[in-house]
Amino acid sequence: MKKQLQKVLALLMVLLMVSALGGCKDKQDEGTETPTGAGTETSGSVSEPETMAPMVQIDDISEYVVLGEYMNLEAVRGDDTITDEEIQEAIDYACEANAAPEKLTEGTVADGDTVGIYYVGTLDGVAFEGGTGEYELTIGSNTFIDGFESGLIGVKVGETVDLNLTFPENYGNTDLAGKAVIFTVTVNYLCGENVVPEFDDALAVELGYADEEEMRADMLKNMQEAKTESVEEAFRAAVWQKAVENAEILKVNEEIYDYYYQTLISQYQSTVQMYGMTLEDYLELTGMTQEEFEKQADEYATQCMEQELVCRAIVKAEGLSVSEEDYQAALADFYSQYSTSFADAAALEAYYSRERLENDILWTEIIDRVMESGIPVEASEAEPTTAAQ
């Protein structure tokens, strides 16, 4: 139970991070096919998005921020060399990720065991659709209809039993609801402890490679690409952060700050509600106090506000604007990313507003310009940072 709670909490924290940082994302339900005789089906729908609040208007950006140097800034670019330790960690991870339970060919089924079965369900002597297949079933999980799992307790590996069962009256498939059926079930094996494979030719072939050498080469290639990308992203972020730090924020824009603060709170509340929780439940699970949460929200909103003010100031300083051609191209690109959330590009534009989309285009261009002008230096060449930085 504790491990399951930890898994749910970990997933929830990831979802909260994504929703907090990602803006309007489309959500797609993922499902897994289950055999006839298992559980019930559920479905959900995504509500139509509401129109975003209009952008905060600032007549004179110089009242809020004085820009410092923001082009050709130096920042440390890390080393993207793959170390022997990282290679070994990747090998260990690959092996552990492909661990599988040992298939025991002897033993007797007990409550709580996971067993590999082959089953055929018949109604009036005829096999019914969805009633035949192979499955790894945990006894006591209530995956199948009443009597199925308990009927396997005491059966030995290799034995076949006939289970005379009745589908519940409210079963989803009306052709089977309330009907008496027979499941003929063969227990093929019991699942033992997980066995971690070696990083060898056998694992390579199982994963679709010719041999261990090809698998290792592909792993190293992927690792190098990922680390190089990560190092580059960290460098670019450091360059932009330095541009923000070089600016002097003269005063807080309360409207922009409140927008980011309330948006973050709303996104947390929406995400936890999907799991039947309140924000207070989430804080209790994470061990975070209300004061600590509010402090994090304050830091997030402050950082977002400062970055927006700097973006606005650079756009004004550079005299940038968006052409109609660039706007329409960007709108089409936005819609291609969020087409599952909006009926068409016009609906997306109505939700965000043209002003907000144009600013998004300009701010993206500004941030890219600043990042691309960055000059990488060795750690020893970089200016010392303060504790606050």
Q: Report DSSP letters for 21-84, one per residue.
A: HH-S-----------TTB-------PPPPPPPPPPPP-S-GGGTEE----SS-EEE----PPPH
At residue 78 the predicted structure's pLDDT band, cuts being 50, 70 and 90, is very high
Q: DSSP letter for 24, please.
A: S
For the cut 90, the answer to whether the pLDDT of residue 367 exceeds it is yes
Q: Do residues 229 and 223 touch, judged by C-beta distance below 8 A?
A: no
User: Rounded to whole angstroms, how far apart are CA atoms 205 and 201?
Assistant: 6
pTM higher than 0.75, yes or no? Answer: no
The three-state secondary structure class of 13 is helix
The mean pLDDT of the chain is 87
Interval 201-216: pLDDT, tens: 999 999 999 999 999 9
Handedness of CA 371, 373, 379, 383 (dihedral sign): negative
Q: CATH for 101-195?
A: 3.10.50.40
User: Rounded to whole angstroms, how far apart are CA atoms 386 and 389?
Assistant: 5
User: Rounded to whole angstroms, how far apart are CA atoms 178 and 328?
Assistant: 58
State the pLDDT at residue 223: 97
Report domain 8-21+50-88+228-381's class. Answer: mainly alpha
115 sits in which H/E element: strand 114-123
Instruction: For Cα atoms 9, 11, 16, give the angle at the middle one, nearest 5 degrees.
Output: 90
Higher pLDDT, 2 or 16: 16
SS3 content of the chain, % helix, strand, coil (to 5): 45, 15, 35
Tell me the C-alpha to C-alpha distance, in Å, between residue 117 and each of 22, 104, 311: 43, 13, 61
Tell me the C-alpha to C-alpha distance, in Å, between residue 239 and each of 187, 243, 380: 61, 6, 17
Burial of 270 (0-12, 13-18, 19+ CB in 10 A): exposed
Nearest to 24 by CA among 370, 277, 349: 349
Segment 160-183 mean pLDDT = 95
For the cut 90, the answer to whether the pLDDT of residue 45 exceeds it is no
Structure tokens at 122: 């018949």
Domain range annotation of the chain = 8-21+50-88+228-381, 101-195
Interval 80-118: pLDDT, tens: 999 999 999 999 999 999 999 999 999 999 999 999 999
